[in-house]
Structure 1
Amino acid sequence: MVYLSLCCRGLLAAVFLLAVAGKARSRAAYRAFAASLDDVRWLPPRLRRAAPPALVGAEAVTLVLLLVPAAAAPGCACAFVLLAAFALGVGRSLRRGEDVRCLCFGVDNGPMDSSTVVRNTALAACAAAGFAGTALASGPASGAGTVVALVGGAALGALVTRWDDLHYLLFSA
């Protein structure tokens, strides 16, 4: 279970690192992300203004927790809460017919659709598995196993951040 936890943490850390870095890489990127939340009409205006710094801050804190071995369980729990909220929020916007753009990783990947809900739900499941793996881990991991699990997870995480491109390649005619 320790390697499952390490792989999940590596995947989630890569996703949150690229999300934070993408949004915070420049003022223009951050402003574009913040402006994209204006299309989320079910959020009251006050929350739409507060959401960008709160989301980037929560993602950054989650990333740090995922990277600190002693904070693995809280990191996975925070990741689960954020990703479940993202999946529910996107689902709500889609049900309301809102055309919300995905700037999840700091670039415009076009309008969100049901595949964004699937991605966030799968990532939330990964966070739950990481939490369970951390809670059920017995004994230390070997050095080589740790590297393989973390690097493998991070590589998968990097692929997940290109979800929209992968979805287009695999499912578009």
Structure 2
Amino acid sequence: MECLDPVLGAGDLAAERLEQANINPQTGLATDYLNHFNEVMMLLEMLPDMPDCAEDVLDWEPLGYEGHFENSTFKDKQLAIMAYSAAPAFLREHLETHIADIDELVGQIQDQLRNSSDAASVAEDIAYRATHEIKPLIALAGAVIHGHLEPEATQHEGDGAQAEIDALFA
């Protein structure tokens, strides 16, 4: 018996259907996932003016791509999960690397808040780190979702990675 995995561009994952669902038809990834990180970014940047947001920052938890969609109100969440499964492995891995970096930085900031007796005293530093460390990582994750990889992303993944990228966008 042969198992047929979903393929980007075919059947349920046809390009037109993915586009209508705001899922990149070439990568199989959706920018809606970044909303999870944009929410905490907004809170981190507001901290200097609203230190009481610290509790919301502390409540934030990392959430993987599939988990985000499983728990979201995204209209086509099952399609997003299916497309993610069909996305090229090197893109998923590259996205997950950026996400792990974001999760780690937010975790460090949460620790900084927990260890501070007063959120206002660390708020400026936290907002600066969010803007200058986390926001660029969110932008890199967005670039992966749109199929724009920095050149070094393919140099360490073997000879086949560049060929996959070239075929994906040919």
TM-score class, shorter? 0.3 to 0.5
Return the structure number with greater relative CO, CA threshold 8 A, min gap 6: 1
TM-score by length of 1: 0.43
Compare CA radii of gyration and give the structure with the larger one: 2
